Each structure stands twice: as structure tokens, then as C-alpha cells.
Structure 1
Amino acid sequence: MAGEPQRAVLVLTRAYDPTADAVLRILAERQVPVVRADPGADLHDGAVLTARYRAGGRLGTLRTGSRTLDLDRVRAVWYRRPSDWAAPPGVHGQDAEFARTQARWGIGGILAKLPGAHYVNHPWRIRAAEHKPAQLDTALAAGFTVPDTIITTDPEEARRFCAEQPGGAVYKPLWNSSYRGRDGRPLQVWVAEVTAAEVTDAVAACPHLFQARLAKAFDVRLTAVGTRLFAVRIDSPDLDWRRRQDLLTYTPIEVPTPVRRSTARYLRHFRLVYGAFDFAVDTDGRWHFLECNSNGQWAFFPPPTTDAIATAIADQLQKGHPA
């Protein structure tokens, strides 16, 4: 309809997010209306969300300090990095837990059901795709090469697996849980080599993931935005390249056709628009799937790659839901 205002893009992220800023600058240059919000924090700082359900449909609004957004006229939602759900300041104990739970299921439920909106990615799809066992199953079905892997709570099975790997084995956490040392400082659990003799009975306490160590020549981070793929070779002195990122070398690299096909199948299975895939490439040039982060970072690449990914995401948000 002539004169009708453009449908807005809703960006859900924290107040400080340079990665989001890279995309928002492009949308601003294109004069695409954008509302940026961090529901876990903003709704305790003056923002208001309302949804009314009645015969004939639903009406919803999100009011921030500067904008009022009609939730039924959202073109696209970029679920970037919003804060965790939190209780209002001064609320503690069971009351705080109750408030957090109501926010997650209430506000989260409203924002996950915006009619006609194109999600990049939908929060429920992100969560479904975060489980490593589901990733491994899907990667195999999609045709990726996957290193021999075991997830177990049996110490003997873990020792047997590690002893059977001709090139050795590594341990990986199934989730990057918050962990602090005795001094209170946060600790990161990195991918680490492990021998059968080092596996203790503590494996029985929770599931552990062990994987065959590859004769790795280099790593690859492949960022997929719809059908557009951006692959970067990562050369690192460490087994886990994330450990010392100041020592990394990034080089754009072509994606083999079989990997392209498997990437499309993988994204289709989880109904994802975006995915950050990690591969280890062995000395024979084979790409081995390690994991896919459905909400992974990408703005640490050299500017040409970062700019290309930002443009691809802006394109997805601007076009809205596919016809």
C-alpha cells in the first residue's frame, strides 16, 4: 500500500555488541528501520512489552525509550546475543527465580512467535542445534566426514576408546559451562590431548566426549549465511585455535563442492539461516566436521571477510521472510 511505513527489523542483542553494530551500520545506510532491544535487561529499564490475544488474532507492542514497535509488523528478527533473563534489581531468592522463569517463557515466547517475521536464527532453532550429539548425528547424515567420537559415562569405555586411536585422542566439553577456579576467576576448558592412562573414574560423574585426534594441517571456520559461504583457513600453533587468538593467521579458502552440499543439508535439517562451522583439515586435504555454532561469532576475521558476512546478514534481514 502506498505510503505505508516499512516493516522494521528487530535486533535482539546486548547494549555493547560491535558485531551487531557492523550490520546495523549497513541497514542504516540502506534506510531500513531497525529497533534494537535487549529484552533481558531493557524491560527492567523502562521498556514495555504487551501482547493481547482475542478473537481475530493477536496485537502486540514493544515500547523502548525511543520507539514503539508493532510486533505484528516485524520484517525480520536477528537473534544475536541478548542478555540472559534476569530478575528486576532488588529481587532475590525464590522471587528472583520466579521472575526469571516468567520472563523466559512469557517474553521469550512472545518474541519467538512474530507472524511473518524472518528469523536469523530462530531462538528455538538455535537451542535445538546446540546439542553436540545432535550435531554429530546430523553431520553424518549430511555427508560430512566426522572424526571417530565417543560420549560416555563409563570410564572403561573411555580408556578403551583412547587406547584404540592410532593418532591419540582429545577431550572436549559438551557445553562451555561457567567454571571458576578457587580464586574466583573464570576458567575456560579447552580441547586437550588425553591418554587412556589419564582417564579417571571421574568420567562416571557426567557425560564426557572423547574424539580421535586428527593429523591436522590447519583449521577452517566456515560461516554460512543462507546459501552464501565464507570460509577462512586458520593457522594456529595450538590444538585449540581459540586459545591464543593473537597468534592466528587467517586466509580465505575455497570450499570443496562436497562440503558445500553437506553444509546446505545440515542447515536445512535444523532450519537454520546462519551457521558457524568448524572443520579440521588433515594433511591429505580432507575436511573433518567438528561442530557448528548456530549463533557463532564472526567479526574477528580480517575486514574483507567481516564486511562480506555483515553484508550477507544485512541482506537476509532486509529482504525479510522468503516468499
Structure 2
Amino acid sequence: MPRPLLFSSSIHEMILSADSRDFQACIGRPPGAGLPAKAVVLITRAGDREADELSLRLAARNVPVVRFDSDRVGRASFQWDVPSGVCTFDGSSFIPSVCWVRSFYRSSIAATGDAAADAYVTDNWAALVAALTEDPRTDTVNADADMSRPGVLAQLAAAVRAGLRVPASIVTTDLADGARSLPGDGDVVVKTLGDHFVEVVPGRLVAVLPRRVARPDLADRPLEPAPVLVQEFIASTRELRIYGVADQLVAFEVAKASPESPWTEPDSVAIREAPVPAHLRRPLRALMSRLRLDVGAFDVLETLDGPVFLEVNPTGDWLTFESRAGVTTVTDAVVDLLAGRYANPRTAS
């Protein structure tokens, strides 16, 4: 089997610890209201810095936070009394009031080496997550989204319906033929259709980064072992990362040398907060509505011919952008969203 193009350059790896730095898990949760108290449940993994920050900020508002970390779930007992809705996890009893699935990676759940047993364990934890978020008594943030949903193709289609331009795209295992199918003769960008990281060993993530490639360089490539997304390269005047949180939009201007620079050369990436262009407000809000997103991180290119939508990440990390720009705008908006939903949850009747 040929090595995939996205694995043929230098590999970027991340090592994530399974040790919790969650403020409320380490220090204690505020009492909340009632016994057992309702809680915001963040379904993620221990290395989620945004979840750590939210736990601290929500504690200041007397909002209890419980973490279901995929790389820690096997360390404590869990029980859910379904009729009453009361859960007991890691020694605490609570009622899930608001749930948000962020970075719950099945691949980070501790494995034993027994393939069948490991698959059974991951399937059952994933089924529990689905059951918690589908419970009509629970208010779920980004109810129709997780790390892989909506997929990039659904995003592109929805963006077009919302009035946004998108790159010419094709899904293929034949990179040369796929590139020939796209308009023009300029470079193309090759992207994964799936997650941006592969985690074979729990806690050790290999980044699957987009690559800009000249079309002639694809002429002799063998067939890819799995389909990828090939898009026309779009020349831009600037790149924007725009966070949508409920009805708020927060934009950052990003200057980088290549698509993979934020991972391979993070110190070379310049970030500053910027006004949200007026012509993007309506279509981005329309796209959030179409995709039923409460929170999303949009990547948009500004070009001489108008904006071009690239993708939206429903769990988009934002602390790096805030720290570089010296603001807390996105964190403030997300804390307001979760605290508001905790106080007045939107649940099925």
C-alpha cells in the first residue's frame, strides 16, 4: 500500500497527558442548586485547555462542571439512574443539565491489546455519550455536531446555500486525475476527509495536515489508499478565523506561511483581533443556523473577488488566538452561553 500523501512529509506529533488540570475536579465543585445539583457536563479529554479554562470561569459563577474525559473515563466508577436522571461519577452525584461534546476521542480510551475487548469498551463509552446528549432532559450544545459532524462536504454544501463561495473541490483517490478535474492550472490543496489527528497510541497524536501541492508534482503519484479532498488553491488578501458563539461573532486575522504553519511553526503565525466584516455577518449566522451550531470556528479567506469559506470546526480551540491577541472575547462569550443555558436549559418538552 502506498504511503498517503499527507503522511509523506515530516510528521508532526503531539503528546497529550491524561492527567487532569480541571479546576473543579482538582479543587472541588461549587454546590449549585438542589441535591443532587445539576451540572454542566463537558465531554472531552484531559488535554482540552479550553475546557480547563471554562471550568475555572464557571466556578466563579457557581456553575458546577463535570468532565467526562475520554482518556480518564476508565479510572472511576459511573452510574446513571435513568428514571431520575441522577448520575454518579468519580464520587459525585449530579444531574446533567447542559452537555457539550468537544474532544472525546475514542482512540484515547485506554486499550489492553485485545482488539475485540477494546472495541467493545470504546463502543460502549461512545454509546453512553450518545445517550447522555440524546436525553430529552439534557440541553446539548451543538446538538447535531461533534468532532466529525457535520463533515466537510456537508459544510461546503451548507455554505453555498447560505450564500458563501467555496473552493472548487473533488473527493478522489487519484490525485493527478482529481487535480485535472479542477479549474485552472494552479496549485491545489490536499486535505483529509476525516479527523485532523490520528491516535494509534492513546495520548500520542499524529497531525494529518493540509498540504499545498503543485499539480505537476502529482503526475506520478500512485493511487491514495483512502479518499481525500482536493481543492483549488485560493489566493487571498488575508485569512480570518471567526468564532460564532450563539449570536456573537468574534474575528481574528491570521498571517501564516503555509496551511500547516500553526502546527509546525506556531511562533511564525501572527494573530490579531479584527472587526468582523459586515458582508460576512449574515451568511455566517445563516450557516450556523443551517448546521444547528451554538459554537463554531470558521476559516474564511478574503480575496479580491470576495470571501471564500473553507471549513467550520464545531469544537474549535480558541485560547491560542486569544493569548496571541491579548483578549478573552471568545472565552467570555462561551462562559456566558454555558452559564445562561445552565440557568435556563433548553430541553425537550
Moved more, 10-19 or 273-282: 10-19
1:152-198 alpha-carbon deviations (Å, 9 max, x no partner): 34556424235x42543222222235289xxx994643322231452
Aligned to 1:98: 120
Aligned to 2:313: 293
Counterpart code for 1:19: E
Measure, in 2, the Cα distance between the counterparts of 1:128 and 1:173.
12
Aligned to 2:21: none
Counterpart code for 2:116: Q
How far did 1:85 drift? 6.4
Asked whether 1:14 is paired with 2:45, we answer yes
2:316 match: secondary structure: coil
Q: Determine which of 42, 45, 51 is the counterpart of 2:75.
A: 45
Moved more, 228-237 or 301-310: 301-310
Q: Determine which of 219, 228, 245 is the counterpart of 1:225.
A: 245
Asked whether 1:174 is paired with 2:193, we answer yes
Measure, in 2, the Cα distance between the counterparts of 1:288 and 1:85.
33
Q: Determine which of 245, 249, 254 is the counterpart of 2:275.
A: 254
Aligned to 2:136: 115
How far did 1:43 drift? 4.0
Aligned to 2:301: 280
Aligned to 2:98: 76
Asked whether 1:23 is paired with 2:48, we answer no
**Structure 1 residues 305 and 286, CA, compared in 2 at 3 Å: closer, same or farther?**
farther
Counterpart code for 1:48: F
1:125 match: secondary structure: coil
Aligned to 2:340: 319
Task: Confirm or deny: 8 A CA contact 2:197 2:206 kept in the other structure.
Answer: no
Measure, in 2, the Cα distance between the counterparts of 1:17 and 1:75.
21
Aligned-residue CA RMSD in angstroms?
3.0
Measure, in 1, the Cα distance between the counterparts of 2:253 and 2:109.
42
Measure, in 2, the Cα distance between the counterparts of 1:90 and 1:179.
15
How far did 1:16 drift? 3.7
Measure, in 2, the Cα distance between the counterparts of 1:16 and 1:154.
36
- Stretches of 4+ moved more than 4 A in 1? 3-6, 85-91
2:117 match: secondary structure: helix
How far did 1:12 drift? 2.0
2:328 match: secondary structure: helix
1:129 match: secondary structure: coil
Aligned to 2:29: none
Q: Where in structure 2 are the equivalents of 1:258-273 lying within 5 Å?
A: 258-273=279-294
1:31 match: secondary structure: coil
Aligned to 1:34: 65
Aligned to 1:165: 184
Moved more, 251-260 or 193-202: 193-202
How far did 1:41 drift? 4.4
1:146 match: secondary structure: coil
Counterpart code for 1:84: R
Counterpart code for 1:29: A
**Structure 1 residues 266 and 150, CA, compared in 2 at 3 Å: closer, same or farther?**
same
Measure, in 1, the Cα distance between the counterparts of 2:73 and 2:176.
50
Measure, in 1, the Cα distance between the counterparts of 2:40 and 2:199.
36
Aligned to 1:67: 92
**Structure 1 residues 190 and 169, CA, compared in 2 at 3 Å: closer, same or farther?**
closer
Aligned to 2:11: none
Q: Determine which of 310, 317, 322 is the counterpart of 2:331.
A: 310
Task: Confirm or deny: 8 A CA contact 1:118 1:322 kept in the other structure.
Answer: yes
In structure 2, stretches of 5+ residues that fail to align are 1-32
Task: Confirm or deny: 8 A CA contact 2:150 2:291 kept in the other structure.
Answer: no
In structure 1, stretches of 5+ residues that fail to align are 53-57
Measure, in 2, the Cα distance between the counterparts of 1:135 and 1:24.
30
The percentage of counterpart residues that share the same residue type is 23
1:59 match: secondary structure: coil
**Structure 1 residues 51 and 157, CA, compared in 2 at 3 Å: closer, same or farther?**
farther
Measure, in 2, the Cα distance between the counterparts of 1:286 and 1:245.
28
TM-score by length of 2: 0.76
Task: Confirm or deny: 8 A CA contact 2:102 2:146 kept in the other structure.
Answer: no
Larger Rg: 1
